[in-house]
Structure 1
Amino acid sequence: MRLPRSVAGWTIAVFGILALVMGAVGLLWPEAQLRMLGFEVPAQRAPGDYTGTFLMASSMAAFNMGVYYLLATVTEWRAFYRFTVYFRLLTFTVFTIAVLAGIAPDRFFGVAAWEGLGAVATAVGLRVDARWAAAGGDGADAADRSAPAGAGTGPDTGH
């Protein structure tokens, strides 16, 4: 796997690795995942309590999302980077509201903060990369500017 070639790429790679690892933890050791998030882990679950099923599904989604983020990093898919900023800010907002409304435990705000800080870090990284490219650097944005119209909207396939 190639290392990220931009500041924004590094922010996406860090998030991708964390999502992959946390997804794996949720699949392999769900009790630890629940405790980390501040949820109770009863000795026995009541009939009809599908917490384990939901955790398995969300952990698998996190694992897959980690793979998607790492793929975007390897291909330096800048449009994906920009897209994540908006949706991670939305996630921050929804998770924060869940904590404030008492739907989620206070410790869950850490997840919201991670999303919000990650979105800001990627946005800052995109700006730094753009300024570096404008100043004549070899940043990934330089390739975006010189590409034909419509290019740069998907992964670089190497062709």
Structure 2
Amino acid sequence: MKLPRSIAGWTIAVFGVLALAMGALGLLWPEAQLRMLGLEVPETRTAGDYTGTFLVASSMAAFNMGVYYLLATVTEWRAFYRFTVVFRLVTFTVFTIAVLADIAPDGFFGVAAWEGLGAVATAVGLRLDARRVAPAGGVGTPAGPESAVTVEGGTGAAGAAPADAAR
């Protein structure tokens, strides 16, 4: 697998690896996942308790999301990076409200904080990456040969997603 080529790419890669790992943990060792979230793990479940079903579904979603984030990193898909900033802030808001409304345990605020901090880190990375690019004759030029940052109005970088390269 290729290493990320930008600061924002590194933030997306870290989240992708952790989402993949947490999804796998939830699938392989659900009790550990529940304990990490501060949720009770009873000896036996009663009829109508679908905690296991929900955990399998959310763990599989996290695993898949990790794959999507890593794919976005490999292709340096900047539009995806920007999209995640917005929706991770929405996730932060919803999860925080769930804790404040006593819908989720206090430990769940750690998940909200992770989403919020991840969104801010990616936003800062996108801003810093944009500053690393120096305009040359109206066309964006990466700051160095190892850089592969897509520039608004520029030609994009090798490996950029088609949607970004066409912009």
Instruction: State, as a whole percentage, how many aligned pairs show the same letter.
Output: 77
CA drift at 1:154 = 3.6
Which TM-score applies when normalising by structure 1? 0.90
Alignment partner of 1:147 is 2:155: yes
CA drift at 1:28 = 0.1
Give 2:143's match in structure 1, choosing from 130, 137, 141.
137
Alignment of 1:8-157 (within 5 A): 8-134=8-134, 137-138=143-144, 139-142=147-150, 145-147=153-155, 154=163
Q: Quick check: which one's helix share is greater?
A: 1
CA distance 1:48–1:74, change in 2 (3 Å): same
Task: Provide, for residues 49-100 of structure 1, a one-character-per-residue CA deviation record: whole Å limited to 9, x for no partner.
Answer: 0000000000000000000000000000000000000000000000000000
| Cα RMSD for the two superposed structures | 1.9
Specify the code of the residue in structure 2 equivalent to 1:77: W
Deviates more, 1:111-120 or 1:128-137: 128-137
Question: How many pairs are equivalent?
Answer: 154
Specify every segment of 5 or more residues in structure 2 that has no aligned partner in the other structure, as ranges: 136-141
Which TM-score applies when normalising by structure 2? 0.86
CA drift at 1:30 = 0.2
Moved over 3 A (4+): 138-145, 151-156
Tell me the SS of whatever aligns to 1:141: coil
CA distance 1:64–1:72, change in 2 (3 Å): same
In structure 2, distance between residues paired with 1:63 and 1:145: 34
